[in-house]
Amino acid sequence: MLQLQNLGLILDGNQILKNLNLETRPGEIHSILGANGTGKSTLASVIAGLSGYRHVDGKLLFHGEDITDLSISERARRGITLAWQEPARFEGLSVAEYIGLGQRFAGDGCASPRECLMKVGLVPENYLARAVDSTLSGGERKRIELASVLAMKPKLAILDEPDSGIDALSIDCVVEVIKTFSRNGTTVLLITHHEEVAEIADRASSLCGGTIMKTGDPVAVARFFRNHCQECLHVNLPGEEEKINDGVFEAI
Amino acid sequence: MTEYSKQFEMLSEAYEISGGDAAALLDKHSGSLVVHHNKIIGRNEIPGVHIEGSETPTGARAKISVDPGTVVEKPVHLCFGVIPKEGIQEIISEFDIGDRAIVTFLAHCTFPNAVKVKHTMAAKIHVGKNAQMTYSETHYHGEFGGIEVLPVVKVVIDEGGMLKNEFKLTKGSVGELRIDYEGDLKKDAVCEFDAKVYGKNEDRISVKESIYLNGVNARGLAKSRIVSSDRCHSEVIGEVIGNAADSRGHVDCVEIIKGKEARASAIPRLVVVDDRAKLTHEAAIGSVDKKQVETLMARGLSENEAVDVVVRGMLK
């Protein structure tokens, strides 16, 4: 459904993404595993179409359509959305309004703000009327972000580290929400650097130095990540020698 | 229908448009004062709330007092307006809130057809010991922008008293707005000035909020949220003067610019006289935050819709 073909991005003279190829399948949870600084959030921004991340080499195809030059809104209306790692806060905008905004362009059978809050483990009565502002904790704000993406019932949800900044006891809830997306028919691109979270996926890809090093079974990719990428010295500096060779990473 | 009835009807319609509840103006159990141009066309007193009014050649005088210890359950409604295209309305008012009283005022000022209207409000407010007063003023203007709105408010808040004052002008185009609020806070008093203005076209907006923390442990917040669009120019001066021990003050100003020809400036001014006072400020001026806009765009809104949601939220 989503195809990234030879994607490349240079920001401020630095090659952040290089020759990146990735394909997601309809309804799958696809984890992107990578250490800090390897380009995970950049990849999320490129797929969502954020400003500053639109001048890329290569192509982005969604259901066969070239979306490389489309704006964020145009991509969202085709069913692509993003849950930010650190979501924005809005003065004067209630949680109910915020979650409801995405429903204008939602797919069939989207859930109400109340239902979405319940799915992310928040009591609706305590949150619907509250503002999406700095009075919310980081964890609360992230759950509301997930609820707003749920409400949109997108075709592709890019979840940028939904597990970061969440207390350990709540990780299970976040994992359950991610599975809910998939049960609703939404394809999830799950960006994380937690192996245990990445392993809930149907498939996973390891990102290192701005390129996909290995794609396949999540457990195998997590092992590959652990053995080759966590200590990688080549963050954001992919060299020719770092190419995948039949799924085996050749470290320098 | 008498001339007063017609004026009341027209003002009631405009009052509704501005967000007011016109039925409340006729509610015998709610205090109210309705002034069209220089005519007092409605006035209702309730137990513990005294409303005196007199007409002047260019407006009206009003003296509103609340007896000590009175808890006013329903808001007191104040409606000021000028329906014709031209006119002057000068309101001189005094509010005296007795010790321990609790009262909320909902004021609506409506100028739906204004092309050349001057509306001034010179108000003196006294909030007694441990009394609480909330004053919320909402303006509704037409799109012509030919209005001068000049509210000048001087407030004295006695020991333990509290005033929350909100000024809101987000519908229509004002022309010229010059807000000048000043608060004198005694021991343990609390004061919040909050101005929310959406400037359009050629509007000129000036907001000055000054809070003097004259009593020990007094608390003050000078807050403003201004949007300058088109060719609007706005200026905000938020100042807090810490004259007493353990007093706390904060200036919080956000101005958003929409349009290449719009201009905005912010001047936070903090003066620490007593070295045990603690004063802080935050001011932000610029276009709408890109991340906020893109977050909403990722839900399918167009850029203009997203900016509008952010701005409307800020001014809510």
Task: Give me the pLDDT at residue A142, please.
Answer: 92
Q: B230 is in which domain, residue-wise?
A: 3-288
Among the ranges given (A62-66, A163-167, A203-207, B272-276), the one the predictor scored with the smallest mean pLDDT: A163-167
Task: Give me the pLDDT at residue A102, please.
Answer: 84
Residue B17 lies in a domain: yes
Mutation to test the B interface, candidates A54, A101, A133, A148, most B Cβ within 10 Å: A101
Count of domains for chain B? 1
First-to-final CA distance of chain A: 34
Q: Is A101 on the interface with B (CB under 8 A)?
A: yes
Cβ under 8 Å to B: A residues 182-241: none
B292 interaction partners in chain A (CB closer than 8 Å): 88-90
Which residue among B298, B303, B316 sits closest to A48, beta carbon to beta carbon? B298
Which residue among B225, B289, B299 sits closest to A148, beta carbon to beta carbon? B299
For the cut 60, the answer to whether the pLDDT of residue A251 exceeds it is no
A147 interaction partners in chain B (CB closer than 8 Å): none
Task: Give me the pLDDT at residue B229, please.
Answer: 93
Mean pLDDT for B220-244 is 96
To the nearest whole Å, the CA of A4 is away from the closest chain B CA by 19
Share of chain A above pLDDT 70, in %: 90
Q: Is B245 on the interface with A (CB under 8 A)?
A: no
Q: Is A110 on the interface with B (CB under 8 A)?
A: no
pLDDT tens for B158-174 read 999 999 999 999 988 89
Task: Give me the pLDDT at residue A244, please.
Answer: 42
To the nearest whole Å, the CA of A93 is away from the closest chain B CA by 5
Mutation to test the B interface, candidates A74, A77, A90, A105, most B Cβ within 10 Å: A90
Answer whether A76 sits within 8 Å of B297, measured CB to CB.
Answer: yes
B254 interaction partners in chain A (CB closer than 8 Å): 91
For the cut 90, the answer to whether the pLDDT of residue B2 exceeds it is no
Q: Is B316 on the interface with A (CB under 8 A)?
A: yes
Task: Give me the pLDDT at residue A78, please.
Answer: 95
Q: Which residues pair with B206 in a beta bridge?
A: B178, B235
Answer whether A93 sits within 8 Å of B309, measured CB to CB.
Answer: yes
The helix (H) or strand (E) run that includes residue B315 is helix B303-315
Q: Is A135 on the interface with B (CB under 8 A)?
A: no
For the cut 70, the answer to whether the pLDDT of residue B130 exceeds it is yes
Q: Is B296 on the interface with A (CB under 8 A)?
A: yes
Say if CB B64 and CB B76 are below 8 A apart.
yes
Class of domain A26-50+78-249: alpha beta
Task: Give me the pLDDT at residue A247, please.
Answer: 41
Task: Give me the pLDDT at residue A77, please.
Answer: 95
Question: CB under 8 Å to B300, separation ≥6 — which residues?
Answer: A73, A76, A77, A81, A102, A104, A105, A152
Sign of CA dihedral A118, A123, A125, A129: negative
Task: Give me the pLDDT at residue A249, please.
Answer: 41
Tokens of A30: 């696809």
Mean pLDDT for B33-51 is 94
Residue B69 lies in a domain: yes
Say if CB B243 and CB B212 are below 8 A apart.
yes
Among the ranges given (A14-28, A237-251, B142-156), the one the predictor scored with the smallest mean pLDDT: A237-251
Mean pLDDT for A52-80 is 94
Which residue among A77, A92, A101 sits closest to B296, beta carbon to beta carbon? A101
A101 interaction partners in chain B (CB closer than 8 Å): 296, 299, 301, 309
Mutation to test the A interface, candidates B297, B305, B312, B316, most A Cβ within 10 Å: B297
Residue B244 lies in a domain: yes
Q: Which residue has the tokens 């060779």?
A: A245
Task: Give me the pLDDT at residue A239, please.
Answer: 41
As a whole number of angstroms, the distance between CA B268 and CA A194 comes to 45
Q: Is B295 on the interface with A (CB under 8 A)?
A: yes
Residue B294 lies in a domain: no
Mutation to test the B interface, candidates A81, A84, A89, A91, most B Cβ within 10 Å: A91
Residue B310 lies in a domain: no
Q: Is B309 on the interface with A (CB under 8 A)?
A: yes
CA of A94: which chain B residue's CA is closest? Answer: B313
Strands B39-44 vs B32-36: parallel, antiparallel or unpaired: antiparallel
For the cut 80, the answer to whether the pLDDT of residue A248 exceeds it is no
Q: So what's the ipTM on this one?
A: 0.90
Cβ under 8 Å to B: A residues 53-72: 71-72
**Cα B129 vs. chain centroid, distance in angstroms?**
23
Q: Give the count of beta carbons closer than 10 Å to the beta carbon of residue B308.
A: 15
Share of chain B above pLDDT 70, in %: 98
Question: CB under 8 Å to B18, separation ≥6 — which residues?
Answer: B108, B109, B110, B138, B139, B140, B171
Task: Give me the pLDDT at residue A246, please.
Answer: 39
Question: CB under 8 Å to B98, separation ≥6 — which residues?
Answer: B65, B66, B67, B68, B69, B70, B128, B131
Give residue A131's identity as a one-letter amino acid code.
A
To the nearest whole Å, the CA of A5 is away from the closest chain B CA by 22
**Cα A207 vs. chain centroid, distance in angstroms?**
13
> Which DSSP category does B46 fall into?
B
Task: Give me the pLDDT at residue B88, please.
Answer: 93
Buried-exposed string B94-116: b where 16+ CB fall within 10 A, e elsewhere: ebbbbbbbbbbbbbbbbbbbbee
For the cut 90, the answer to whether the pLDDT of residue B3 exceeds it is no
Tokens of B311: 């701005």
The helix (H) or strand (E) run that includes residue B109 is strand B102-111
For the cut 90, the answer to whether the pLDDT of residue B216 exceeds it is yes
Say if CB B238 and CB B281 are below 8 A apart.
yes
Answer whether A92 sits within 8 Å of B313, measured CB to CB.
Answer: yes
Answer whether B313 sits within 8 Å of A105, measured CB to CB.
Answer: no
Q: Is A41 on the interface with B (CB under 8 A)?
A: no
To the nearest whole Å, the CA of A98 is away from the closest chain B CA by 9
